[in-house]
């Protein structure tokens, strides 16, 4: 008979966690729950754009937004080419992204923010990053992760895709563009 003071009492030992435990389908949000941690100039341009207020307002489902990404996204830059006026800006602000008057915000960034307003589930986000119809659908999924998920979880999201050459290129471009937009090379604090 064991006494209450015996070492190795199996009932008191913590049980190891099961590594195959399913994660909740509800995604955590990191940082600002209103702005998605986006650059304020980009966000203001998204929220005031005709495309976001009229066209995207009518899209109510995840699948409708996926179709819109497939048909409308042609690049992942925050601004439409040639829409930013940098003439007259001098010194450190001349031609710097995110500084100055902005321009016409891109379709990709409007759709990224639209996805955020839908409050994606884990299953939906996995659907984005594994989508095979368009690299832009996958890239917007990775951008969604970068802007909205806790930094401690980024590796878990990106890890299995780092061996895929197509995704690796998308991730590199995403990291470079987000680093330029936020003027920092780390992901340890929200904008």
**Domain for residue 55, yes or no?**
yes
Domains in the chain, number: 1
> 96 or 73: whose pLDDT is higher?
73
pLDDT of residue 1 exceeding 60, the answer is no
Give the CA count within 13 Å in the CB-facing half-sphere of 114: 27
Find the distance separating the first CA and the last CA of the chain, reported in whole Å.
60
Give the CA count within 13 Å in the CB-facing half-sphere of 167: 18
Which range marks the domain in which residue 71 is found?
40-78+97-182
* Beta-sheet strands, E only, within 21-166: none
d(CA 150, CA 118): 18
**Domain for residue 50, yes or no?**
yes
**Domain for residue 190, yes or no?**
no
Contact yes or no for 114/65 (Cβ under 8 A): yes
Tokens of 81: 């080419």
CA torsion, ordered 163, 131, 115, 23, to nearest 10 deg: -70
CA max distance for the chain: 87
**Domain for residue 160, yes or no?**
yes
**Domain for residue 187, yes or no?**
no
pTM for this model (two decimals): 0.71
Radius of gyration of the chain from its Cα atoms, rounded to whole angstroms: 21
DSSP 93: G
Residues 141-167 have pLDDT tens digits of: 999 999 999 999 988 998 887 777 766
Mean pLDDT of the chain: 78
Residues 103-123 have pLDDT tens digits of: 899 999 999 999 999 999 999
pLDDT, position 48: 96
Residues 24-83 have pLDDT tens digits of: 899 999 999 999 999 999 999 999 999 999 999 999 999 999 999 999 999 988 999 877
């Amino acid at each position: 008979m064991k006494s209450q003071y015996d070492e190795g009492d199996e009932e008191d030992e913590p049980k190891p966690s099961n590594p195959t435990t399913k994660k909740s389908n509800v995604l955590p949000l990191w940082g600002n729950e209103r702005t998605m941690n986006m650059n304020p100039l980009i966000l203001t341009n998204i929220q005031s754009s005709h495309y976001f207020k009229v066209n995207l307002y009518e899209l109510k489902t995840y699948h409708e937004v996926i179709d819109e990404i497939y048909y409308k996204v042609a690049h992942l830059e925050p601004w439409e080419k040639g829409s930013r006026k940098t003439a007259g800006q001098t010194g450190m602000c001349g031609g710097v992204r995110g500084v100055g008057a902005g321009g016409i915000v891109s379709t990709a960034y409007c759709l990224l923010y639209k996805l955020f307003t839908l409050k994606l589930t884990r299953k939906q986000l996995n659907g984005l990053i594994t989508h095979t119809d368009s690299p832009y659908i996958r890239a917007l999924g990775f951008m969604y992760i970068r802007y909205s998920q806790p930094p401690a979880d980024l590796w878990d999201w990106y890890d299995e895709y780092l061996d895929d050459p197509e995704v690796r290129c998308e991730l590199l471009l995403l990291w470079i563009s987000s680093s330029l937009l936020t003027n920092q090379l780390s992901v340890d604090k929200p904008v």
